[in-house]
Amino acid sequence: MKRLLFYLICLSFIPLLVLCNGNHDPLLPPGGDTLTTYPQIDTSIVRLLDDTPVILWIEASANFSRLGTAGRMAEIFQKVADMGVKGVVIDVKGVAGLVSYNSSVAEQLKTWNGFTQADDFDYLRNAITEAKKKGLRVFASVCTFTEGLNYGGIKYGKVFSDPEFTDMQSQVMTVSGEVRKITELYSYGMINPLYPSAQEYEMSVINEIVSNYDLDGFVLDYCRYYDICADFSDYSLEKFREWAGLPSVKSTDIVQSWKTNYGAVVPDIIGPQYKKWLEFRAMSIRDFIEKARAEVKSVKPDMAFCSYSGAWYDSYYYVGVNWASKAYDPYSEGFSSWATPTYKNAGIAEMLDLFMTGNYTATLNGSGWWTVQGQINGAKTILKNANIQYGSVDIGNTAWADIKNMQDAIVMILKQTNGIMLFDLVHIDDPEANHFDQQLYGNVKQAIDMGLAGK
């Protein structure tokens, strides 16, 4: 059971966790003071987030039956509020691409692991109703460029059911240099973010959610590439050639050979276009996020526009995301082995009201990108107060030494950042979904109370 839940709710960072022992730039910029004002963010959003320093993430499939009726949702949300949580992130479009609200655009998730929700049960609308009763703010999140999941041999999602999406699925490089469709090698199907029709579809989902539901915030998840080995389709190479102004380009101009590192396919010998390719990928994600922000704000100007990324900035370029401020230049700050002088133009921080970093390590103190303190310090310098930043803990999958280790991480993040995102409800509520074999409501409440003391 634990292994199954780990698989379901960790896909957003598994490709990158294997990189922490790789040979990446060790440089960590020094920490800086955090400003308390954000003139670039609407004051109503600043006040909203000021009042919501603790947010709980609720993944769709892992909590499907737990919150599958109005009664169950009311009971759980009361426990959540009593624990000290002030807001919830409701995952309404999971890895499979199925949605948890009444949609005219996407297929709905109505049955999972033998449990079926009532036909007239609108999961998101009911979550908003029950959360508001408990004084909880509500954010909706979508797994942006994921449209399929092979779950125990059952294939869900558009990459399996819709020929257009089958053709748009990400194409990934293998160690041998062969390009394969992602669903031929992996259990879940991400699509290529470069396709205009892929972006249009995801934008239609975003518009539908923001237009039809009374939310406090909207969160992008999986707004990225699969990993460094994606996307090497002919379409992507041609778009890169056009963007870079090259007469021609081959995949070997980008990476000459590949190897495996802790199970991931990573570059062995890079080619002359490698760094420009990384910039191209990051710019493509940046451009989509700019469009998504404009879409959200055109419908609800006072809605918080948010995103999640892993806190390990030194290797997050692997998935094509530069979560830094546009004023931060990684090329001149020690990351010239992968950043170009213009990579900074792909920074997304200024487009986000709230940015959540995944501080997913049990090592609290020390420098470097794989300690909580190092991640906090690095994020402060890289973000340059461009947005309101929360740290995050993965309660169920992190190899904590003991419960106090987990509590200390929560306290540290609450004391040193603007707030915290707790991942995930299932880890707190289900004893089989954490390493301590017990419900953790009381333990997490203790940490929240300590972390918020004096703030």
**Domain boundaries of the chain, sorted by first residue:** 2-452
- Per DSSP, the residues of 369-401 read TTSHHHHHHHHHHHHTTSSEEEEEEETTTS--S
Six token digits for residue 35: 């400003």
pTM for this entry? 0.93
* Residue 35, number of CB atoms within 10 A of its CB: 10
Burial track 308-335 (b if 16+ CB lie within 10 A, e otherwise): bbbbbbbbbbbbbbbbbbbebbbbebeb
Residues 162, 146: Cα–Cα separation, whole Å? 14
Q: What is the pLDDT along the chain (455 residues), one digit of tens a residue?
A: 333 343 344 444 444 443 333 333 333 333 333 435 688 899 999 999 999 999 999 999 999 999 999 999 999 999 999 999 999 999 999 999 999 999 999 999 999 999 999 999 999 999 999 999 999 999 999 999 999 999 999 999 999 999 999 999 999 999 999 999 999 999 999 999 999 999 999 999 999 999 999 999 999 999 999 999 999 999 999 999 999 999 999 999 999 999 999 999 999 999 999 999 999 999 999 999 999 999 999 999 999 999 999 999 999 999 999 999 999 999 999 999 999 999 999 999 999 999 999 999 999 999 999 999 999 999 999 999 999 999 999 999 999 999 999 999 999 999 999 999 999 999 999 999 999 999 999 999 999 999 999 76
CA-CA distances (angstroms) from residue 127 to 140, 303, 314?
10, 17, 37
Topology adopted by domain 2-452 = TIM Barrel (3.20.20)
